[in-house]
Protein backbone atom coordinates (compact mmCIF):
# COMPACT_ATOMS: atom_id res chain seq x y z
CA UNK A 1 0.00 0.00 0.00
CA UNK A 2 2.01 2.97 -1.26
CA UNK A 3 -0.69 5.56 -0.58
CA UNK A 4 -0.09 7.74 2.47
CA UNK A 5 -3.69 9.01 2.45
CA UNK A 6 -5.66 7.91 5.50
CA UNK A 7 -9.34 7.08 5.57
CA UNK A 8 -10.48 10.59 6.58
CA UNK A 9 -8.48 12.08 3.66
CA UNK A 10 -10.49 9.88 1.27
CA UNK A 11 -13.74 10.94 2.95
CA UNK A 12 -12.92 14.67 2.71
CA UNK A 13 -12.10 14.21 -0.99
CA UNK A 14 -15.56 12.68 -1.60
CA UNK A 15 -17.18 15.53 0.34
CA UNK A 16 -15.46 18.04 -1.94
CA UNK A 17 -15.72 16.20 -5.26
CA UNK A 18 -19.03 14.26 -5.02
CA UNK A 19 -21.07 16.37 -2.58
CA UNK A 20 -24.44 15.51 -4.16
CA UNK A 21 -23.78 11.78 -4.78
CA UNK A 22 -25.99 9.55 -2.61
CA UNK A 23 -23.83 7.48 -0.26
CA UNK A 24 -26.24 5.95 2.31
CA UNK A 25 -29.90 4.81 2.12
CA UNK A 26 -31.68 4.08 5.39
CA UNK A 27 -35.10 2.34 5.55
CA UNK A 28 -37.49 4.12 7.95
CA UNK A 29 -40.37 1.63 7.94
CA UNK A 30 -43.58 1.37 5.89
CA UNK A 31 -41.49 1.36 2.71
CA UNK A 32 -40.04 4.84 3.37
CA UNK A 33 -36.31 5.55 3.10
CA UNK A 34 -33.93 8.43 3.82
CA UNK A 35 -31.10 9.08 1.34
CA UNK A 36 -27.92 10.82 2.51
CA UNK A 37 -25.45 12.41 0.10
CA UNK A 38 -21.76 12.75 0.89
CA UNK A 39 -22.37 16.42 1.76
CA UNK A 40 -25.20 15.51 4.15
CA UNK A 41 -23.25 12.68 5.80
CA UNK A 42 -20.25 14.93 6.41
CA UNK A 43 -22.36 17.87 7.58
CA UNK A 44 -24.04 15.74 10.25
CA UNK A 45 -20.75 14.07 11.24
CA UNK A 46 -18.94 17.42 11.53
CA UNK A 47 -21.69 18.80 13.79
CA UNK A 48 -21.64 15.71 16.01
CA UNK A 49 -17.82 15.86 16.14
CA UNK A 50 -18.01 19.44 17.43
CA UNK A 51 -20.54 18.34 20.05
CA UNK A 52 -18.31 15.48 21.23
CA UNK A 53 -15.35 17.85 21.50
CA UNK A 54 -17.44 20.18 23.68
CA UNK A 55 -17.38 17.48 26.40
CA UNK A 56 -13.61 18.00 26.74
CA UNK A 57 -12.69 14.31 26.47
CA UNK A 58 -8.94 13.69 26.11
CA UNK A 59 -7.58 12.88 22.64
CA UNK A 60 -7.99 9.17 21.90
CA UNK A 61 -10.92 8.81 24.35
CA UNK A 62 -13.04 5.75 23.58
CA UNK A 63 -16.58 6.49 22.40
CA UNK A 64 -18.87 3.45 22.17
CA UNK A 65 -21.62 2.62 19.66
CA UNK A 66 -24.30 0.07 20.53
CA UNK A 67 -26.47 -0.28 17.44
CA UNK A 68 -27.53 -2.44 14.57
CA UNK A 69 -26.31 -1.33 11.15
CA UNK A 70 -27.74 2.01 10.08
CA UNK A 71 -26.65 5.22 8.37
CA UNK A 72 -25.99 6.90 11.71
CA UNK A 73 -23.51 4.19 12.72
CA UNK A 74 -21.19 5.35 9.93
CA UNK A 75 -21.92 9.04 10.61
CA UNK A 76 -21.14 8.52 14.31
CA UNK A 77 -17.88 6.73 13.51
CA UNK A 78 -16.78 9.62 11.26
CA UNK A 79 -17.75 12.09 14.02
CA UNK A 80 -15.70 10.14 16.58
CA UNK A 81 -12.66 10.13 14.30
CA UNK A 82 -12.95 13.82 13.39
CA UNK A 83 -13.29 14.75 17.06
CA UNK A 84 -9.96 13.01 17.78
CA UNK A 85 -11.37 9.90 19.47
CA UNK A 86 -11.46 6.10 19.09
CA UNK A 87 -14.55 3.99 18.32
CA UNK A 88 -15.64 0.98 20.37
CA UNK A 89 -18.57 -0.71 18.63
CA UNK A 90 -20.53 -3.33 20.62
CA UNK A 91 -22.50 -6.13 18.98
CA UNK A 92 -26.20 -5.16 19.10
CA UNK A 93 -27.15 -8.63 20.37
CA UNK A 94 -24.81 -8.69 23.39
CA UNK A 95 -26.06 -9.29 26.92
CA UNK A 96 -26.07 -6.56 29.58
CA UNK A 97 -23.09 -8.31 31.19
CA UNK A 98 -20.98 -8.17 28.01
CA UNK A 99 -22.07 -4.59 27.25
CA UNK A 100 -20.95 -3.63 30.76
CA UNK A 101 -17.66 -5.51 30.38
CA UNK A 102 -16.76 -3.82 27.07
CA UNK A 103 -17.70 -0.32 28.30
CA UNK A 104 -15.70 -0.83 31.48
CA UNK A 105 -12.66 -2.51 29.93
CA UNK A 106 -12.41 0.11 27.16
CA UNK A 107 -13.03 2.94 29.67
CA UNK A 108 -15.63 4.41 27.32
CA UNK A 109 -16.32 8.14 27.80
CA UNK A 110 -19.73 8.18 26.06
CA UNK A 111 -22.20 5.88 24.32
CA UNK A 112 -24.30 6.18 21.17
CA UNK A 113 -27.49 4.15 21.61
CA UNK A 114 -28.86 3.14 18.23
CA UNK A 115 -31.23 0.78 16.49
CA UNK A 116 -31.73 -2.13 18.92
CA UNK A 117 -34.16 -4.97 19.67
CA UNK A 118 -33.26 -5.50 23.34
CA UNK A 119 -32.19 -2.14 24.77
CA UNK A 120 -34.26 -2.51 27.96
CA UNK A 121 -32.45 -5.82 28.65
CA UNK A 122 -29.02 -4.34 27.80
CA UNK A 123 -29.47 -1.02 29.62
CA UNK A 124 -28.58 -2.39 33.12
CA UNK A 125 -25.06 -3.05 31.79
CA UNK A 126 -24.48 0.68 31.22
CA UNK A 127 -23.18 2.87 34.05
CA UNK A 128 -25.86 5.44 34.93
CA UNK A 129 -23.27 8.24 34.81
CA UNK A 130 -22.11 7.51 31.24
CA UNK A 131 -23.18 10.26 28.78
CA UNK A 132 -25.50 8.87 26.08
CA UNK A 133 -26.78 10.07 22.72
CA UNK A 134 -29.71 8.40 20.94
CA UNK A 135 -29.70 7.76 17.18
CA UNK A 136 -32.96 8.70 15.38
CA UNK A 137 -33.87 4.98 15.08
CA UNK A 138 -33.10 4.17 18.74
CA UNK A 139 -35.80 2.49 20.86
CA UNK A 140 -38.49 4.86 22.14
CA UNK A 141 -37.29 4.61 25.75
CA UNK A 142 -33.79 5.77 24.71
CA UNK A 143 -35.21 8.64 22.66
CA UNK A 144 -37.19 9.79 25.70
CA UNK A 145 -34.31 9.39 28.19
CA UNK A 146 -31.33 10.77 26.24
CA UNK A 147 -30.49 13.68 24.04
CA UNK A 148 -31.23 12.84 20.40
CA UNK A 149 -28.84 12.98 17.46
CA UNK A 150 -31.13 15.25 15.42
CA UNK A 151 -31.55 17.88 18.13
CA UNK A 152 -27.78 18.01 18.79
CA UNK A 153 -27.00 18.33 15.06
CA UNK A 154 -29.64 21.05 14.62
CA UNK A 155 -28.10 23.36 17.23
CA UNK A 156 -24.36 22.68 16.74
CA UNK A 157 -22.03 24.42 14.29
CA UNK A 158 -20.00 21.97 12.18
CA UNK A 159 -16.33 21.28 12.83
CA UNK A 160 -14.43 22.94 9.97
CA UNK A 161 -11.50 21.87 7.80
CA UNK A 162 -9.73 18.60 7.03
CA UNK A 163 -8.99 17.02 10.40
CA UNK A 164 -5.75 15.03 10.47
CA UNK A 165 -5.22 11.85 12.48
CA UNK A 166 -1.84 10.19 12.90
CA UNK A 167 -1.41 6.88 11.05
CA UNK A 168 -0.63 5.02 14.29
CA UNK A 169 -3.44 6.56 16.34
CA UNK A 170 -6.22 4.10 17.17
CA UNK A 171 -9.24 4.35 14.89
CA UNK A 172 -11.10 1.64 16.80
CA UNK A 173 -10.95 -1.19 19.28
CA UNK A 174 -12.87 -4.19 17.99
CA UNK A 175 -13.97 -6.58 20.71
CA UNK A 176 -13.99 -10.05 19.20
CA UNK A 177 -17.28 -11.88 19.55
CA UNK A 178 -15.33 -14.99 20.49
CA UNK A 179 -16.72 -18.54 20.46
CA UNK A 180 -15.24 -18.96 23.95
CA UNK A 181 -14.24 -16.76 26.87
CA UNK A 182 -14.23 -13.02 27.49
CA UNK A 183 -14.07 -10.67 24.45
CA UNK A 184 -10.58 -9.42 23.55
CA UNK A 185 -10.10 -5.84 22.34
CA UNK A 186 -8.17 -5.75 19.05
CA UNK A 187 -6.62 -2.31 18.56
CA UNK A 188 -6.76 -1.01 14.96
CA UNK A 189 -4.76 2.00 13.80
CA UNK A 190 -5.82 4.42 11.07
CA UNK A 191 -2.96 3.03 8.97
CA UNK A 192 -4.24 -0.55 9.24
CA UNK A 193 -7.92 0.27 8.71
CA UNK A 194 -7.10 2.45 5.70
CA UNK A 195 -4.94 -0.34 4.23
CA UNK A 196 -7.83 -2.79 4.53
CA UNK A 197 -10.26 -0.28 2.98
CA UNK A 198 -7.92 0.51 0.06
CA UNK A 199 -7.23 -3.20 -0.46
CA UNK A 200 -10.90 -4.18 -0.54
CA UNK A 201 -11.95 -1.16 -2.65
CA UNK A 202 -9.24 -1.88 -5.27
CA UNK A 203 -10.01 -5.61 -5.28
CA UNK A 204 -13.76 -5.07 -5.69
CA UNK A 205 -13.28 -2.61 -8.57
CA UNK A 206 -10.94 -5.09 -10.28
CA UNK A 207 -13.55 -7.86 -9.97
CA UNK A 208 -16.62 -5.86 -11.02
CA UNK A 209 -14.71 -4.20 -13.89
CA UNK A 210 -16.96 -1.14 -13.89
CA UNK A 211 -16.59 2.56 -13.11
CA UNK A 212 -20.32 2.83 -12.36
CA UNK A 213 -21.61 3.27 -8.83
CA UNK A 214 -21.54 -0.02 -6.95
CA UNK A 215 -24.39 -1.10 -4.66
CA UNK A 216 -24.11 -3.08 -1.42
CA UNK A 217 -26.53 -4.09 1.31
CA UNK A 218 -25.08 -3.71 4.81
CA UNK A 219 -26.65 -6.21 7.20
CA UNK A 220 -23.87 -8.31 8.78
CA UNK A 221 -22.89 -6.60 12.08
CA UNK A 222 -20.80 -3.45 11.55
CA UNK A 223 -19.39 -4.14 15.01
CA UNK A 224 -17.54 -7.06 13.37
CA UNK A 225 -14.36 -6.70 11.35
CA UNK A 226 -15.71 -8.44 8.21
CA UNK A 227 -18.49 -5.91 7.52
CA UNK A 228 -16.48 -2.98 8.90
CA UNK A 229 -13.64 -3.53 6.44
CA UNK A 230 -15.39 -5.02 3.38
CA UNK A 231 -18.36 -2.63 3.40
CA UNK A 232 -17.66 0.47 5.52
CA UNK A 233 -13.92 0.95 4.95
CA UNK A 234 -14.10 -0.01 1.26
CA UNK A 235 -17.03 2.35 0.60
CA UNK A 236 -15.36 5.23 2.51
CA UNK A 237 -12.25 4.80 0.35
CA UNK A 238 -14.02 4.14 -2.95
CA UNK A 239 -16.51 7.03 -2.77
CA UNK A 240 -18.58 5.55 -5.60
CA UNK A 241 -20.46 2.87 -3.67
CA UNK A 242 -24.09 3.26 -2.60
CA UNK A 243 -24.61 1.56 0.77
CA UNK A 244 -28.14 0.39 1.58
CA UNK A 245 -29.17 -0.86 5.02
CA UNK A 246 -31.58 -3.64 5.94
CA UNK A 247 -34.62 -2.71 8.01
CA UNK A 248 -35.26 -6.06 9.71
CA UNK A 249 -35.15 -9.82 9.25
CA UNK A 250 -38.80 -9.74 8.14
CA UNK A 251 -38.11 -7.18 5.38
CA UNK A 252 -34.75 -8.64 4.30
CA UNK A 253 -35.88 -9.80 0.86
CA UNK A 254 -37.59 -6.44 0.26
CA UNK A 255 -34.38 -4.67 1.37
CA UNK A 256 -32.34 -6.83 -1.04
CA UNK A 257 -34.65 -6.02 -3.95
CA UNK A 258 -34.40 -2.30 -3.11
CA UNK A 259 -30.60 -2.39 -3.03
CA UNK A 260 -30.14 -4.62 -6.11
CA UNK A 261 -26.55 -5.20 -4.91
CA UNK A 262 -23.69 -5.53 -7.38
CA UNK A 263 -21.47 -6.91 -4.61
CA UNK A 264 -22.90 -9.13 -1.88
CA UNK A 265 -21.05 -10.64 1.06
CA UNK A 266 -22.51 -13.06 3.54
CA UNK A 267 -21.68 -15.88 5.95
CA UNK A 268 -22.14 -19.66 5.43
CA UNK A 269 -25.27 -19.86 7.58
CA UNK A 270 -27.11 -17.39 5.32
CA UNK A 271 -25.87 -18.89 2.05
CA UNK A 272 -27.21 -22.21 3.33
CA UNK A 273 -30.53 -20.67 4.40
CA UNK A 274 -30.95 -19.07 0.96
CA UNK A 275 -30.42 -22.49 -0.64
CA UNK A 276 -32.86 -24.16 1.75
CA UNK A 277 -35.43 -21.45 0.93
CA UNK A 278 -35.09 -22.34 -2.76
CA UNK A 279 -35.41 -26.06 -1.99
CA UNK A 280 -38.55 -25.41 0.09
CA UNK A 281 -40.18 -24.12 -3.12
CA UNK A 282 -38.64 -26.64 -5.53
CA UNK A 283 -37.15 -30.05 -4.59
CA UNK A 284 -33.37 -30.28 -5.29
CA UNK A 285 -33.83 -33.19 -7.74
CA UNK A 286 -36.31 -31.22 -9.87
CA UNK A 287 -34.16 -28.05 -9.84
CA UNK A 288 -31.09 -30.10 -10.74
CA UNK A 289 -32.93 -31.69 -13.67
CA UNK A 290 -34.17 -28.31 -14.97
CA UNK A 291 -30.71 -26.72 -14.68
CA UNK A 292 -29.35 -29.50 -16.89
CA UNK A 293 -31.67 -28.61 -19.82
CA UNK A 294 -30.12 -26.17 -22.36
CA UNK A 295 -31.82 -22.73 -22.52
CA UNK A 296 -34.42 -23.77 -19.91
CA UNK A 297 -31.61 -24.18 -17.34
CA UNK A 298 -30.41 -20.61 -17.87
CA UNK A 299 -33.93 -19.21 -17.52
CA UNK A 300 -34.54 -21.22 -14.33
CA UNK A 301 -31.17 -20.14 -12.84
CA UNK A 302 -31.94 -16.49 -13.61
CA UNK A 303 -35.39 -16.81 -12.01
CA UNK A 304 -33.91 -18.36 -8.84
CA UNK A 305 -31.34 -15.56 -8.48
CA UNK A 306 -34.02 -12.93 -9.13
CA UNK A 307 -36.18 -14.49 -6.40
CA UNK A 308 -33.25 -14.17 -4.00
CA UNK A 309 -32.64 -10.54 -5.03
CA UNK A 310 -29.16 -11.42 -6.31
CA UNK A 311 -29.65 -11.15 -10.07
CA UNK A 312 -27.44 -8.01 -10.33
CA UNK A 313 -24.56 -9.40 -8.23
CA UNK A 314 -21.24 -9.36 -10.10
CA UNK A 315 -19.13 -10.59 -7.19
CA UNK A 316 -20.36 -12.58 -4.17
CA UNK A 317 -18.20 -13.41 -1.17
CA UNK A 318 -18.42 -15.54 1.94
CA UNK A 319 -16.33 -15.40 5.09
CA UNK A 320 -16.36 -15.91 8.87
CA UNK A 321 -16.44 -19.74 8.69
CA UNK A 322 -15.80 -22.49 6.09
CA UNK A 323 -18.32 -22.85 3.26
CA UNK A 324 -19.13 -26.39 2.04
CA UNK A 325 -17.56 -26.79 -1.45
CA UNK A 326 -20.80 -28.33 -2.76
CA UNK A 327 -22.66 -25.14 -1.80
CA UNK A 328 -20.18 -22.97 -3.73
CA UNK A 329 -20.58 -25.22 -6.78
CA UNK A 330 -24.39 -25.03 -6.51
CA UNK A 331 -24.39 -21.22 -6.58
CA UNK A 332 -21.90 -21.11 -9.43
CA UNK A 333 -24.17 -23.42 -11.39
CA UNK A 334 -26.90 -20.79 -10.98
CA UNK A 335 -24.50 -18.25 -12.48
CA UNK A 336 -23.58 -16.52 -9.21
CA UNK A 337 -19.84 -16.00 -8.88
CA UNK A 338 -19.53 -17.00 -5.22
CA UNK A 339 -16.03 -16.95 -3.76
CA UNK A 340 -14.72 -17.76 -0.33
CA UNK A 341 -12.43 -15.45 1.60
CA UNK A 342 -10.42 -15.71 4.79
CA UNK A 343 -9.48 -13.12 7.36
CA UNK A 344 -9.85 -12.27 11.01
CA UNK A 345 -10.30 -9.30 13.31
CA UNK A 346 -6.54 -9.19 13.89
CA UNK A 347 -5.83 -8.40 10.22
CA UNK A 348 -9.01 -6.35 9.66
CA UNK A 349 -10.30 -9.29 7.57
CA UNK A 350 -7.68 -8.42 4.93
CA UNK A 351 -5.91 -11.70 4.23
CA UNK A 352 -7.04 -14.11 1.48
CA UNK A 353 -9.74 -14.31 -1.15
CA UNK A 354 -10.68 -16.54 -4.05
CA UNK A 355 -11.28 -15.07 -7.51
CA UNK A 356 -10.83 -15.88 -11.18
CA UNK A 357 -8.47 -18.83 -11.65
CA UNK A 358 -7.83 -19.05 -7.87
CA UNK A 359 -11.31 -20.27 -7.04
CA UNK A 360 -11.27 -24.01 -6.40
CA UNK A 361 -14.16 -24.83 -4.01
CA UNK A 362 -12.81 -25.75 -0.58
CA UNK A 363 -9.98 -23.20 -0.81
CA UNK A 364 -10.08 -19.61 0.50
CA UNK A 365 -8.06 -18.27 -2.41
CA UNK A 366 -4.70 -16.54 -2.48
CA UNK A 367 -3.15 -13.74 -0.38
CA UNK A 368 -4.53 -10.25 -0.98
CA UNK A 369 -2.11 -7.59 -2.26
CA UNK A 370 0.63 -6.96 0.29
CA UNK A 371 -0.21 -9.99 2.47
CA UNK A 372 2.52 -12.47 3.40
CA UNK A 373 1.70 -16.01 4.52
CA UNK A 374 3.52 -19.14 5.64
CA UNK A 375 2.76 -22.35 7.53
CA UNK A 376 4.78 -23.33 10.59
CA UNK A 377 5.95 -26.89 11.32
CA UNK A 378 2.58 -27.79 12.89
CA UNK A 379 0.63 -26.48 9.88
CA UNK A 380 -0.55 -23.29 11.63
CA UNK A 381 -1.26 -20.41 9.24
CA UNK A 382 0.92 -17.36 9.96
CA UNK A 383 -0.09 -14.02 8.40
CA UNK A 384 1.54 -10.62 7.99
CA UNK A 385 -1.03 -8.19 6.56
CA UNK A 386 -1.06 -4.44 5.79
CA UNK A 387 -4.28 -4.48 7.84
CA UNK A 388 -2.55 -5.98 10.90
CA UNK A 389 -3.83 -4.84 14.29
CA UNK A 390 -1.66 -3.09 16.90
CA UNK A 391 -2.24 -5.65 19.66
CA UNK A 392 -4.82 -6.57 22.28
CA UNK A 393 -5.96 -3.68 24.48
CA UNK A 394 -4.46 -3.94 27.99
CA UNK A 395 -3.10 -7.44 27.22
CA UNK A 396 0.59 -7.03 26.28
CA UNK A 397 1.49 -10.64 27.21
CA UNK A 398 -1.22 -12.04 24.93
CA UNK A 399 -0.12 -9.65 22.17
CA UNK A 400 3.48 -10.84 22.44
CA UNK A 401 2.46 -14.51 22.42
CA UNK A 402 0.32 -13.96 19.31
CA UNK A 403 3.25 -12.99 17.06
CA UNK A 404 6.36 -14.74 15.80
CA UNK A 405 9.75 -13.09 16.32
CA UNK A 406 9.59 -11.68 12.78
CA UNK A 407 6.10 -10.18 13.12
CA UNK A 408 3.76 -12.82 11.68
CA UNK A 409 0.42 -13.25 13.47
CA UNK A 410 -0.35 -16.75 14.74
CA UNK A 411 -3.89 -17.31 13.46
CA UNK A 412 -4.60 -20.54 15.35
CA UNK A 413 -5.93 -21.99 12.07
CA UNK A 414 -4.42 -25.05 10.45
CA UNK A 415 -3.98 -25.02 6.69
CA UNK A 416 -2.53 -26.47 3.52
CA UNK A 417 -1.21 -24.53 0.51
CA UNK A 418 -1.06 -25.40 -3.18
CA UNK A 419 1.98 -24.42 -5.31
CA UNK A 420 -0.07 -21.55 -6.85
CA UNK A 421 -0.60 -20.03 -3.37
CA UNK A 422 -4.19 -21.17 -2.78
CA UNK A 423 -4.89 -21.80 0.89
CA UNK A 424 -7.16 -24.43 2.41
CA UNK A 425 -8.18 -24.09 6.07
CA UNK A 426 -8.34 -27.58 7.58
CA UNK A 427 -9.48 -26.59 11.08
CA UNK A 428 -8.72 -24.65 14.24
CA UNK A 429 -5.81 -25.92 16.33
CA UNK A 430 -7.88 -25.40 19.50
CA UNK A 431 -10.84 -27.32 18.04
CA UNK A 432 -8.88 -30.52 17.47
CA UNK A 433 -9.89 -33.23 19.92
CA UNK A 434 -8.96 -36.82 20.67
CA UNK A 435 -11.42 -39.68 20.97
CA UNK A 436 -10.53 -42.82 22.95
CA UNK A 437 -8.69 -43.97 19.80
CA UNK A 438 -5.96 -41.45 20.69
CA UNK A 439 -5.75 -39.58 17.38
CA UNK A 440 -6.72 -35.98 16.74
CA UNK A 441 -10.00 -35.28 14.93
CA UNK A 442 -10.48 -31.97 13.06
CA UNK A 443 -14.22 -31.22 13.21
CA UNK A 444 -14.58 -28.51 10.52
CA UNK A 445 -14.02 -30.67 7.38
CA UNK A 446 -16.46 -33.32 8.68
CA UNK A 447 -19.03 -30.63 9.52
CA UNK A 448 -18.77 -29.33 5.96
CA UNK A 449 -19.55 -32.79 4.59
CA UNK A 450 -22.67 -32.90 6.77
CA UNK A 451 -23.74 -29.37 5.79
CA UNK A 452 -23.80 -30.33 2.11
CA UNK A 453 -27.11 -32.08 2.85
CA UNK A 454 -30.07 -29.65 2.51
CA UNK A 455 -31.79 -31.19 5.56
CA UNK A 456 -29.08 -29.77 7.85
CA UNK A 457 -28.77 -26.10 8.81
CA UNK A 458 -25.99 -26.32 11.43
CA UNK A 459 -23.62 -29.09 12.52
CA UNK A 460 -21.06 -29.68 15.26
CA UNK A 461 -18.71 -32.68 15.50
CA UNK A 462 -17.45 -33.59 18.97
CA UNK A 463 -16.62 -36.60 21.15
CA UNK A 464 -13.68 -35.81 23.44
CA UNK A 465 -12.53 -39.07 25.09
CA UNK A 466 -15.48 -41.03 23.66
CA UNK A 467 -15.17 -44.35 21.79
CA UNK A 468 -15.84 -42.43 18.55
CA UNK A 469 -16.84 -38.94 17.41
CA UNK A 470 -20.47 -37.93 16.98
CA UNK A 471 -22.31 -35.17 15.14
CA UNK A 472 -24.99 -32.93 16.61
CA UNK A 473 -27.12 -31.25 13.94
CA UNK A 474 -29.88 -28.65 13.69
CA UNK A 475 -32.41 -29.48 10.98
CA UNK A 476 -33.40 -26.99 8.27
CA UNK A 477 -35.88 -24.34 9.39
CA UNK A 478 -38.73 -25.50 7.12
CA UNK A 479 -38.26 -29.13 8.24
CA UNK A 480 -38.20 -28.63 12.02
CA UNK A 481 -41.94 -28.01 12.57
CA UNK A 482 -42.83 -31.14 10.55
CA UNK A 483 -40.80 -33.65 12.58
CA UNK A 484 -43.75 -34.25 14.92
CA UNK A 485 -45.20 -36.25 12.01
CA UNK A 486 -43.97 -39.86 12.31
CA UNK A 487 -43.72 -40.24 8.50
CA UNK A 488 -41.51 -37.14 8.21
CA UNK A 489 -39.41 -38.32 11.16
CA UNK A 490 -38.88 -41.70 9.49
CA UNK A 491 -37.76 -39.94 6.27
CA UNK A 492 -35.32 -37.79 8.26
CA UNK A 493 -33.87 -40.87 9.96
CA UNK A 494 -33.47 -42.66 6.64
CA UNK A 495 -31.77 -39.67 4.96
CA UNK A 496 -29.45 -38.96 7.90
CA UNK A 497 -28.59 -42.66 8.22
CA UNK A 498 -27.54 -42.70 4.55
CA UNK A 499 -25.62 -39.44 5.04
CA UNK A 500 -23.76 -40.96 8.01
CA UNK A 501 -22.59 -43.88 5.85
CA UNK A 502 -21.60 -41.53 3.04
CA UNK A 503 -19.60 -39.22 5.34
CA UNK A 504 -17.86 -42.09 7.14
CA UNK A 505 -16.80 -43.54 3.78
CA UNK A 506 -14.98 -40.29 3.00
CA UNK A 507 -12.98 -39.86 6.24
CA UNK A 508 -10.27 -41.78 8.14
CA UNK A 509 -11.38 -44.65 10.41
CA UNK A 510 -10.36 -42.81 13.59
CA UNK A 511 -12.55 -39.81 12.54
CA UNK A 512 -15.67 -41.83 11.79
CA UNK A 513 -18.92 -40.81 13.44
CA UNK A 514 -20.75 -43.17 15.79
CA UNK A 515 -24.08 -41.34 15.21
CA UNK A 516 -25.88 -38.21 14.14
CA UNK A 517 -27.86 -36.59 16.96
CA UNK A 518 -30.73 -34.25 16.04
CA UNK A 519 -30.81 -31.21 18.35
CA UNK A 520 -34.14 -30.57 20.07
CA UNK A 521 -33.86 -26.77 19.83
CA UNK A 522 -32.20 -24.63 17.11
CA UNK A 523 -28.95 -22.85 18.01
CA UNK A 524 -29.36 -19.08 18.02
CA UNK A 525 -27.52 -15.92 19.03
CA UNK A 526 -30.24 -15.32 21.64
CA UNK A 527 -29.79 -18.68 23.40
CA UNK A 528 -26.02 -18.28 23.47
CA UNK A 529 -25.21 -21.09 21.00
CA UNK A 530 -24.04 -18.81 18.17
CA UNK A 531 -21.73 -15.80 18.11
CA UNK A 532 -23.11 -12.52 16.64
CA UNK A 533 -21.53 -13.57 13.32
CA UNK A 534 -23.31 -16.93 13.48
CA UNK A 535 -20.35 -19.15 14.31
CA UNK A 536 -21.18 -22.03 16.62
CA UNK A 537 -20.06 -21.72 20.25
CA UNK A 538 -18.63 -25.21 20.70
CA UNK A 539 -17.95 -25.01 24.41
CA UNK A 540 -21.50 -23.82 25.13
CA UNK A 541 -23.15 -26.48 22.93
CA UNK A 542 -20.92 -29.25 24.33
CA UNK A 543 -21.73 -28.13 27.88
CA UNK A 544 -25.48 -28.21 27.14
CA UNK A 545 -25.12 -31.67 25.57
CA UNK A 546 -22.98 -33.18 28.38
CA UNK A 547 -25.86 -34.59 30.52
CA UNK A 548 -27.19 -36.55 27.52
CA UNK A 549 -23.94 -37.93 26.09
CA UNK A 550 -24.03 -41.20 28.01
CA UNK A 551 -27.58 -41.98 26.87
CA UNK A 552 -26.73 -41.19 23.24
CA UNK A 553 -23.81 -43.61 23.20
CA UNK A 554 -25.90 -46.27 24.99
CA UNK A 555 -28.55 -46.16 22.25
CA UNK A 556 -28.28 -48.57 19.36
CA UNK A 557 -29.57 -46.16 16.71
CA UNK A 558 -27.32 -44.41 14.22
CA UNK A 559 -29.68 -41.41 14.20
CA UNK A 560 -30.64 -40.19 17.68
CA UNK A 561 -33.22 -37.56 18.65
CA UNK A 562 -32.04 -35.52 21.63
Instruction: Please say whether the beta carbons of 47 and 158 come within 8 A.
Output: yes
- Are residues 184 and 50 located together in one domain of the fold? yes
- Are residues 61 and 153 located together in one domain of the fold? yes
Average of pLDDT values for 507-535? 90
Domain boundary among 429, 454, 477: 429
- Above 70 in pLDDT, residue 179? no
Q: What is the CATH number of the domain that holds 533?
A: 3.30.300.30
Average of pLDDT values for 405-434? 93
Average of pLDDT values for 517-529? 92
pLDDT in tens, 332-345: 999 999 999 999 99
**Burial (0-12, 13-18, 19+ Cβ within 10 Å), 57:** middle
Is 158 a member of any domain? yes
- Are residues 66 and 105 located together in one domain of the fold? yes
- Are residues 415 and 289 located together in one domain of the fold? yes
- Are residues 457 and 443 located together in one domain of the fold? yes
CA dist 34 and 235 (Å) reads 18
CA dist 127 and 134 (Å) reads 16
- Are residues 274 and 295 located together in one domain of the fold? yes
Which pLDDT score is estimated for 180? 52
pLDDT in tens, 20-75: 999 999 999 998 999 999 999 999 999 999 999 999 999 999 999 999 999 999 99
Is 211 a member of any domain? no
CA dist 370 and 317 (Å) reads 20
- Are residues 163 and 58 located together in one domain of the fold? yes
Is 43 a member of any domain? yes
Query: Mean pLDDT for the chain?
Result: 94
Is 251 a member of any domain? no
Average of pLDDT values for 75-95? 96
Single out the residue of 447, 445, 451, 446 nearest to residue 275, CA to CA.
Answer: 451
Is 223 a member of any domain? no
Domain boundary among 395, 413, 429: 429
CA dist 479 and 455 (Å) reads 7
Average of pLDDT values for 223-235? 96
Q: What is the CATH number of the domain that holds 110?
A: 3.40.50.980
- Above 70 in pLDDT, residue 177? no
- Are residues 400 and 514 located together in one domain of the fold? no
Is 5 a member of any domain? no
| Separation of CA 113 from chain center | 21
Is 517 a member of any domain? yes
State the residue range of the domain holding 409: 263-311+313-429
Q: What is the CATH number of the domain that holds 352?
A: 3.40.50.12780
The structural domain count of the chain equals 3
Which pLDDT score is estimated for 2? 39
pLDDT in tens, 3-20: 589 999 999 999 999 999
Domain boundary among 429, 461, 476: 429
- Are residues 397 and 500 located together in one domain of the fold? no
Lateral strand order in the sheet of 409-417: 372-375, 380-384, 409-417, 423-428
- Are residues 363 and 299 located together in one domain of the fold? yes
Bridge partners (DSSP) listed for residue 89: 65, 174
- Above 80 in pLDDT, residue 390? yes
Which pLDDT score is estimated for 440? 85
Is 245 a member of any domain? no
- Are residues 406 and 467 located together in one domain of the fold? no
- Are residues 58 and 173 located together in one domain of the fold? yes
178 confidence band (pLDDT: 50, 70, 90): low
- Angle at the Cα of 189 (from 184 to 194), degrees rounded to 5? 120
Amino acid sequence: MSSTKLILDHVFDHEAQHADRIYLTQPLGQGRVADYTWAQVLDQSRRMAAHLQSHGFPRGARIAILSKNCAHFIMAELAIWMAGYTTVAIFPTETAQTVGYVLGHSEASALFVGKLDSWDVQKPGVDAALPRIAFPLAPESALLDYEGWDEIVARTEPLAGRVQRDAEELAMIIYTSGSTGTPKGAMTSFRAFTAAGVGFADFTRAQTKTAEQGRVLSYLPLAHSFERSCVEAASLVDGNTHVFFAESLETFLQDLHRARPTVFISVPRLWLKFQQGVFAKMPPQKLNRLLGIPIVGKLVAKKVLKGLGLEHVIFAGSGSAPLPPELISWYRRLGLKLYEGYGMTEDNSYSHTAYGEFAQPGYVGVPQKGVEVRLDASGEVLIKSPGQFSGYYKQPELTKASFTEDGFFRTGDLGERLPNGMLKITGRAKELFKTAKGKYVAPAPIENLLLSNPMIELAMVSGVGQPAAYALVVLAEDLRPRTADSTVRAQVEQTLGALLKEVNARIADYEQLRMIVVAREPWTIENGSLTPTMKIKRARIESDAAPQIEAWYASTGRVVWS
